[in-house]
Amino acid sequence: MNEGIENKVILITGGSTGLGAETARLLAGRGAKVAVAARRKDRLDDVVAEIAAAGGTAKAYALDVTAKDQVEAVVASVVADFGRLDVLINNAGLMPIRPMSEVNTDEWDQMIDVNLKGVLYGIAAALPRFLAQESGHIINLSSVAGIKVFAPGGTVYSGTKFAVSAISEGLRHEVGEKVRVTSIEPGAVESDLKFTTSGAAAETVLDFYKQAIPAASVARAIAFAVEQPDDVDVNAIVIRPTAQQF
Ligand SMILES: NC(=O)c1ccc[n+]([C@@H]2O[C@H](COP(=O)([O-])OP(=O)(O)OC[C@H]3O[C@@H](n4cnc5c(N)ncnc54)[C@H](OP(=O)(O)O)[C@@H]3O)[C@@H](O)[C@H]2O)c1
């Protein structure tokens, strides 16, 4: 158990796989009450069952973060089910890598809707509650691609992640006296994210991901931000494979 994590109610979007699921397992193992939300309810149920089998507390919520009303409804349900919300981890995302010249507006729309607007809808639902209770923590998953433009191929992905980092910093500036805000900026991490790239760049992405570090490394970074005492706000954590140059 862990003093800064135990009994905190933590909602993780994109909690069905990858970084989100691993973070749920770690935080639940340290005593948090974890709400995992994503579209694939069967995968969420597996994560919840695993946490329960290990003695932890978790609940699954079906959610498409591109639907503003659903995000608000899930946050309201978590508060109703657990009595409060302490931490929102805006983690849902996808990374279809493709040169701009191939003009794929469906992928551009998806990345903006999930990686960017999904984060904003999460903030919209959690922030009024955090301000009212005069505490709370918003953790956004940006990327090293939110520090340096991942081009060619990751230009729109980088655009969404630069935006997430900018929103995190602006939000901290605006509400930081009451609400903690953390931007997590990982490099290549083992998960299903690499499979969201199809087309000509797919092989290059798989090759790049050979250096990936385990999702648990990011989960530990997130736990570090969560467990700090209330007067300490970890603003940003950049974490990448030692071997990764980009
Ligand atoms: N892995 C890396 O190398 C890396 C590096 C830097 C940043 N990140 C960021 O970390 C976050 C998590 O990625 P990951 O690596 O864990 O990838 P992942 O294994 O593919 O997980 C992505 C998660 O997002 C969820 N998701 C996608 N669209 C959604 C939607 N419309 N509504 C709700 N949930 C949705 C997926 O669940 P469902 O399909 O069940 O909805 C899944 O749980 C992303 O924001 C990613 O950009 C990852």
User: What count of other Cβ atoms lies within 10 Å of the Cβ of residue 56?
Assistant: 20
Does residue 3 form part of some domain?
no
CA distance 20 to 40: 13
pLDDT at residue 246 in the model: 87
Whether 215 is in a domain gets the answer: yes
234 in Cβ contact with 182 (< 8 Å): yes
| Closest CA to ligand 1's atom 19 | 18
In this prediction, residues 220-231 reach a mean pLDDT of 97
Ligand 1: does its nearest atom lie under 6 Å from the Cβ of 154? no
Residue 191 near ligand 1, beta carbon < 6 Å: yes
> Percent of the chain having pLDDT more than 70?
100
Give the residue numbers spanning the domain of 34.
9-239
Q: What does the pLDDT read at residue 199?
A: 87
Residue 93 belongs to a domain: yes
Q: Is residue 223 in a domain?
A: yes
Question: Predicted confidence band at 1 (pLDDT cuts at 50, 70, 90)?
Answer: low
Contact 16 CB / ligand 1 (< 6 Å): yes
**Mean pLDDT value of segment 47-75:** 98
Amino acid identity at 240? R
Q: Classify the phi-psi angles of 83: left when phi > 0, otherwise alpha if psi is within -120 to 50, otherwise beta.
A: left
* Domain membership flag for residue 67: yes
Residue in 91, 120, 208 to alter for ligand 1 test, most ligand atoms within 8 A of Cβ: 91
Collapsing DSSP to helix, strand or coil, 177 comes out as coil
186 ligand 1 Cβ < 6 A: yes
pLDDT at 46 over 90: yes
The encoded tokens of residue 205 equal 């992405």
Question: What average pLDDT does the segment 84-109 reach?
Answer: 98
Q: How many domains does the chain have?
A: 1
- Indicate yes or no: pTM above 0.95: yes
User: Quick one: pLDDT at residue 205?
Assistant: 95
Q: What is the mean pLDDT of residues 182-202?
A: 96
Residue 4 domain-assigned (yes or no): no
Ligand 1 mean position, distance from CA 7 (Å): 25
Atom of ligand 1 nearest to the CA of 20: 16
Q: How confident is the model at residue 232 (pLDDT cuts 50, 70, 90)?
A: very high
**246 part of a folded domain:** no
Least confident of 1-15, 26-40, 53-67: 1-15
Q: What is the pLDDT of residue 2?
A: 73
The chain-wide mean pLDDT, for the chain, equals 97
| Six-digit token string for 13 | 């979007």
Domain assignment of residue 39, yes or no = yes
For the Cβ of 141 lying below 6 angstroms from any atom of ligand 1, the answer is: yes
Any idea what the CATH number is for the domain that residue 133 is in?
A: 3.40.50.720
CA 16–ligand 1 middle distance (angstroms): 9
